[in-house]
Amino acid sequence: MALNTFHLPDVGEGLTEAEIVSWKVQPGAVVAVNDTIVEIETAKSLVELPSPFAGVVSALLVAEGDTVEVGTAIIAVEDAVPAPGEPTSGGPAAQAPAPEMPGELTTPPPVEPAAGPENGPLVGTGPKADAVRRRPRRAAGANTPEPEPAPAPPPAPAVPAALPAAGADGTGPAAGRPDPRPGPLNQLLNRVLAKPPVRKAARDLGINLADVPATGSSGEVTKQDLMSYQAQRDAEQDGADSFWDDRKKHGAGRIERIPVKGVRKATAKAMVQSAFSAPHVSIFVDVDASRTMEFVKRLKASRDFEGIKVSPLLILAKAVIWAAARNPSVNATWTDDEILVKHFMNLGIAAATPRGLMVPNIKDAQNLSLKELALALNDLAVTARAGKTQPAQMQGGTLTITNIGALGIDTGTPIINPGEVAIVAFGTIKQKPWVLDGEVIPRWITTLGGSFDHRVVDGDLSARFMADVASILEEPALLLD
Is residue 411 within 8 Å of residue 427, measured between CB atoms? yes
Calpha distance 304→375 (Å, rounded): 12
Q: What does the alpha-carbon distance between residue 409 and residue 414 come to, in Å, rounded to a whole number?
A: 12
What count of residues does the chain have?
481
The residue ranges of DSSP E strands in 32-135, in sequence order, are 36-41, 46-50, 55-60, 67-69, 73-79
Cα–Cα distance list, 15 to 69, 97, 201, 206, 432 (Å): 9, 52, 47, 39, 48
> Alpha carbon 169 to chain centroid distance?
47
Cβ atoms 365, 317 nearer than 8 A = yes
Q: One-letter amino acid identity for 69? A: E
* Choice among 250, 280, 343, 454 that is catalytic: 454
State the Cα–Cα distance between residues 75 and 59, nearest whole angstrom. Answer: 6
* Max intra-chain CA distance, the chain: 108
φ, ψ of residue 478 in degrees (nearest 5): -65, -20
Give bridge partners of residue 40 from the DSSP assignment: 20, 47
CA 252 to chain centre: 32
250 is a catalytic site residue: no
Q: Report which secondary-structure segment, H or E, holds 290.
A: helix 290-301
First CA to last CA across the chain, in angstroms?
69
Distance CA 391, CA 266 (A): 12
Residue 340 pairs in a beta bridge with 333
Cα 221 → chain centroid = 33
3-state SS track over 112-174 = CCCCCCCCCCCCCCCCCHHHCCCCCCCCCCCCCCCCCCCCCCCCCCCCCCCCCCCCCCCCCCC
Residues identified as active-site:
454
